[in-house]
């Protein structure tokens, strides 16, 4: 099943502010992660939604929710390496 990717506004802003090479690397790493076993992992958030967080090889921290019922992969948060400010919003 193919999923549509939905980016939170903060995530779009962060990616837009990155240099092109960094942005391409992050997007490539996201593609690799989300095309693998992670889509079968994550904690149950609701009946059709799982979610979790992880750190990419580039050091960016990702928080996501996967809504299987609507075929959406929500990229809720993306933090740059060294940015320890956590979002108050929990899964």
Pairing between β-strand 61-67 and β-strand 72-79 as defined by DSSP bridges? antiparallel
Q: Catalogue all structural domains in the chain, each as residue range(s) with its CATH number.
A: 4-79 (3.30.2310.20)
Minimum mean pLDDT range among 20-24, 27-31, 80-84, 85-89: 85-89
What percent of the chain lies above the pLDDT cut of 90? 45
37: Cβ contacts below 8 Å, ≥ 6 apart:
none
Which pLDDT belongs to residue 23? 94
pLDDT of residue 89 exceeding 60: no
pLDDT of residue 91 exceeding 60: no
User: Taking the model in full, what pTM does it have?
Assistant: 0.76
């Amino acid at each position: 099943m193919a999923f549509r990717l939905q980016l939170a506004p903060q995530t779009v802003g962060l990616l837009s502010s990155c240099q092109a090479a960094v942005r391409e690397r992050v997007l490539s790493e996201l593609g690799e992660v989300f095309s693998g076993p992670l889509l079968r992992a994550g904690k149950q958030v609701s009946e059709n939604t799982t979610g979790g967080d992880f750190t990419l090889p580039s050091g960016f921290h990702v928080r996501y929710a996967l809504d299987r019922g609507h075929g959406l992969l929500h990229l809720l948060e993306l933090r740059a390496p060294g940015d320890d400010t956590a979002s108050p919003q929990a899964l």
